[in-house]
Structures are given as C-alpha cells and as structure tokens.
Chains A and B, each alone.
Chain A
C-alpha cells in the first residue's frame, strides 16, 4: 500500500515538474528549452545505462550492441504512431486528447519494446554461449546488421531518416520510465534470479554446477535488457520527433559502455551516476567539441588502468547507510 502511494506521488511530481519547467505552471518561470532537452536526454541515457548494466555488470556478459535494440524500439514505435496513430486515437475517442496521446505513446512504446525483446531473444540465444571477447564482437556485429537493415527499409525513411514523429514524450514520461527501469532492475537484481546472474558473473561453471540454468538466466536478462533499450529508443523517437540510423551506431553502444564503466559495472546507482556525468561532461565540454571524444577515450583508458571498478564498483547508494538488522529477512544488496 505504501509503495502504491509513493508511486502516485512520484508520477504527480514528475508531471507537475514538467509543467513547471516548461513554463506552464508559474507565470514567468521556465528553464531554457536547451537545458530541458539535456536533462530529458540524460533520462534516456539512464534507461540505457541501467538496462545495459543488467547484462554487462550484473551478469558479466559483454554486450556492445545495445544501440541496435534502441534502434528497433525507436523505429517500430515511430512506425506504429505514424501508421496507426489516427486509428488508435479514433478508437479512444471518448477520452480527452491528453489521455489519447498518453495511451498512444504507451501502446507504441509497448510494441517497440516487444519487438526489441524478440530481437534480443534472437540475438541472445545463439550468442550467449560464446566466451567474453567473442560475445562482444558478435553483439557488435548484430548491432550493425540491425542498423544497416533498418537503413535499407524505405517505409521508415531509409537514408533520409524518419521524420514527422509526434512529440508524445516529454521530461515527465522519460523520467517516469527511468524510475520504472531503476525499480525493475533493482528488484530483479535483489531476488533469487538476480543472485543467479551474479553467480554466473562470478563463476559460470560453478553456477551451472549449483543447478542454475545459466543459458536461461542469461537469455532472460538479455531479453529484459533489450526490451528496456527498446523503450528508451521509443521515448527518444517521440521526443526528438526525428530519428536516423546514425544515432544508433556502435559509437552509441560505446557511449553507454563508457557510462556504466565510469559509474561502476554492477552498480545501479553507478549507472545512473555514469549516465548523468556523461551528459554533464558532454555538454560542459561542448565548446571543446572536437576534443571531447579524445578526452573521453583517454579517460576510459585511464580509468581502466587506475580504477577499473569505476566510481562505485559493486556498491549501491544504500550500502553507504548501514541498515539495522530487521527481524524479517530482507534480500541483500548485491555485495557490499
């Protein structure tokens, strides 16, 4: 009951906050659209980082094709809105327009995420039995294949990109899903299933010997992760109103890797931190745009040499606050 109330409050705060920031609440008060866009895109990065960390950080499987699933989510959801938007809105005619749009967004995101999940399954099942380096290369390859494939589909714009997507997503929606992603991933991780993932990361052979169906666990986490990337993609498309496959290259996948590495593989808080830091650094260094990637890549190398566990390592925010032992056992955080 308590959780339910908290959720309602959270949603309300988000939507009120959105009105406030866009100037709809207090007359004369608003933030620059540029700032709002940066913050919103940061939210999308949070979804991407946290979902990728489920695979790379917690399960220890090195996937560098995340952008591909984001692309699927973006394009599929955009297509749903473009091709079926009016029909769906018509079917929901009795609802006020904002609810119609919300419903449309949710439907589009849902279908996009489902397609991304299916893709995750198709990619994951054959690939996840490969060793570390090989898995990385295969996922990289699949990411590129997906991108090239989409590039050749004229129905979604092909090389011109997909434009004219209605702006159904905003700051509130993005952070709503960011919050949901963090919640879902942290619940997965702090469960029996989550323990099997970490066990796989620590020692896959031992995990299998202890009765864990490692293939099933890996594929499930991969599919969940891909679905979330699909949601991120859908939000991305409906926020920027235009997508092009150039936004979903392996560079994008690398950027997400950089985020979770900086923050700490195996830490959800770390992923959020990494995503935020990345955006802050990117925007802060915007005047040095040419040097930006040079600095980032140098940073990546230095971190690997000096502190490969990133800022937080395996720790989470709550591990800094020791909790008194309760009588009712609580599933432990992933390492301390």
Chain B
C-alpha cells in the first residue's frame, strides 16, 4: 500500500482461518493499522488482492465489507458520542435487520417486533461485555476502559465472521488486560469467529494469539506461534534495535 511516495505496507502475505486467533505486531509505524484500513476498505490498496470467504473484496466500500462479515474496532476510539451505549450497539445491528423505512413511518407490527428483537439482542451483548448498567448513558460519558469494551461490543453487533481489534488493550492496567484476554478467548469460543489482533501489549498478544505475525517497516519479518516468535532474533532486533 503506497501513500504518494511512501510505501506503508509491502509484500504482505497473511491468511486467517475461521476461529483462529491471529496477532499482528511490530514497532510503531510498521504499518499495522494500515493493514486494518486496507482490509476493511478504508484505503484501497495500490497493489495486491484480498479475499474473504473465497470472494475478492478489494475496492469495496467499508460498509459493504462489514456487511460481508468483517468488523473492526478503532485505535482512537470512534464511538457515537451523543448516542447512548445501547444505541451505539443498536446502530451496528442495523445491517442485519429486515424492516425498512416505510414500516418505521407507519409503525407496522413488523417494525415493533424488529425493534424488540434488536433491543433484546443488544442488551444481551451489553451484558456479555459488562456494560448493561450504562445502557442509557451517553457513550462519551463512559470511563475509558468501558469505552474500549463498548467498541468491541458494537463491532460484535454486526455479527462478524472476522473481528479486527485495533489495540484493544491500549491504556489498560494489567488486571483489565487480563480480563480482556479472557473476554477475547471467550468470544472466540462462543461465537467461533476469527480474530485479528493488533497490539503492543506483549502479554496480551502472546497470551491470546495462536499465530503471531511480525511487521517491520511495512514488511513481514516473521510468522509463527508465540513461543517461536519470542525467540526469533530478527524480531528481537526489530524491537530493540541492532546490537
């Protein structure tokens, strides 16, 4: 992926199996968020292919990609601040709804039953993420850790097959990070989706991910299970600099 004269990501070969916990790490500026943005359609890659469930998705708008089943969270939290926590989650389930605008205007029974279904489903999701007590609170008023969890809950509401988490543990203390790790594992076990994780917190990455993929200056320098990666000399050098 090229931005003008700068090559952000080059020669990336990455594939994720259903239900796999995949981690993407690398020093700052290595191109990790760019990979996310390219996968989710925010940027159009200047070269290369991406396919999901056997279908090519390059060039599609991010909304369409989400509807295919790839959901993401953002590195800088992008919640809908003025909306309540519950509404944030409900918006994300809009793409999985069937009732249309006409039924909303005429308040048909179909509209009411759909709203009820979405409400219950959204509240369930909030319970999973320990956010149900904030349901009617404006998202911007939440404490930081809860906002991060809301981001994930919201992404989950789109019923994804692949979940992209962009630095979900950023700013968390060790205890919160541990809870997050359990949550991620639980979500994968319960819903069976693949999870691609970008993180700087090594404990989280090594503790949760089954495969770790290391980037440096936009290129892959190692891929493998956590134990291997931790011993890989190229990885150590990339993080700590040359001797």
Contact = CB atoms under 8 A, between A and B. Distances in A.
Partners in one complex: yes
A192 B138 contact: no
Contacts of B107: 3, 187
B86 to A, nearest CB: 7
B95 A210 contact: yes
Given A188-B104, A206-B78, A336 B115 contact: no
A212 B104 contact: no
A193 B119 contact: no
B147 to A, nearest CB: 13
A188 B105 contact: yes
B66 A332 contact: no
A205 B157 CA distance: 17
Contacts of B32: none
Contact of A199 (B64, B84, B91, B96): B91
A283 interface: no
B66 A209 contact: yes
A209 B40 CA distance: 8
B220 interface: no
Contacts of B84: 332, 335-336
B74 A206 contact: yes
A195 B66 contact: no
A329 interface: yes
A202 B115 contact: no
A277 interface: no
A192 B79 contact: no
B36 to A, nearest CB: 10
B61 A192 contact: no
A61 interface: no
B35 interface: no
Interface in A198-220: 198-199, 202-203, 205-214, 220
B116 A328 contact: yes
Given A192-B114, A192-B118, A335 B138 contact: yes
Query: A187, A198, A209, A332: which has the most chain B beta carbons within 10 Å?
Result: A209
Nearest to B88: A199
Interface residues of B, number: 46
B80 A202 contact: yes
A331 B97 CA distance: 15
Contacts of B92: 210-211
Contact of A329 (B61, B72, B111, B115): B115
A314 interface: yes
Contacts of B101: 188, 191, 193, 220
B211 interface: no
* Size category of the binding interface on chain A: 20 to 34
A225 interface: no
Contact of A210 (B105, B120, B138, B154): B154
A251 interface: no
A120 to B, nearest CB: 15
Contacts of A314: 82
Nearest to B103: A191
Interface in A298-336: 314, 328-329, 331-332, 334-336
A187 to B, nearest CB: 5
B155 A210 contact: yes
B136 interface: yes
Contact of A193 (B78, B83, B104): B104
Contacts of A196: 91, 94
Contacts of B223: none
A199 B63 CA distance: 13
Interface in B37-55: 40, 42
Given A184-B105, A335-B138, A210 B87 contact: no
Contacts of A188: 101, 104-105
A330 to B, nearest CB: 8
8 A-B pairs closest in CB distance? A211-B95, A191-B104, A202-B80, A206-B78, A329-B119, A211-B66, A210-B92, A208-B63
Interface of A: 3, 184, 187-188, 191-196, 198-199, 202-203, 205-214, 220, 314, 328-329, 331-332, 334-336
Given A184-B105, A329-B119, 14 more contacts: A191-B111, A192-B99, A192-B115, A192-B118, A193-B104, A198-B83, A199-B80, A209-B78, A210-B94, A211-B63, A211-B94, A213-B95, A329-B120, A332-B136
8 contacts: A191-B111, A193-B101, A199-B91, A203-B80, A206-B79, A209-B42, A213-B63, A332-B86
